Amino acid sequence: MPPFQLLQDHVSGSRIEVLIDCILSITYDRAAPYSLNCGHTFCGTCLLKWLFAAFDQVFHHWMEPLSCPLCHAVLPSIPRSTPREICTFPFVLNRSTEEVINSYIAVLKNTADNHGHDQGTEEVSHSVEEWAEGKPARIDWEGRE
């Protein structure tokens, strides 16, 4: 679906939830989204927790092979020697996804904040209203920034 159509449909609230929901957590944690070489994207916090859960504390290295938690594609191995080359890091910041998420959040905030202030404002769903100033979704998101 084209981005402008997604923006037009933002009043449902469900599209933003699908976009920013991290499969590794139960909250809107897709702040600082990182992608694996298979293309799957997760929030940075959850991905780091997942990565370090695979670290062997006794032998001081990652258990091999690391694979995507969603599709199980094998990730590049992390060498034991340091300093490590950047190309051996198994995930990278996904700036495009981050920009899209921030754009949607801005639209949600604006819609929620202006709802009821303008004559003829469309009815918005409860999930969009939760993005208004001082509401739970907004507080939760801004706490992650």
Encode pLDDT of 37-89 as tens digits.
888 888 888 888 888 887 776 666 666 678 888 899 988 777 777 787 777 77
SS3 80: coil
pLDDT digits (tens, 9 = 90+) for 5-39: 444 454 455 555 555 567 776 555 556 888 888 88
Report the C-alpha gap between 140 and 145 in whole angstroms: 9
Prediction pTM value: 0.59
Domain extent at residue 54 = 3-144
Task: Quote the strand ranges of the chain, DSSP E.
Answer: 33-36, 41-43, 55-56, 61-62, 91-93
Number of domains present in the structure of the chain: 1
pLDDT of the residue at 79: 72
Domain CATH code at residue 73: 3.30.40.10
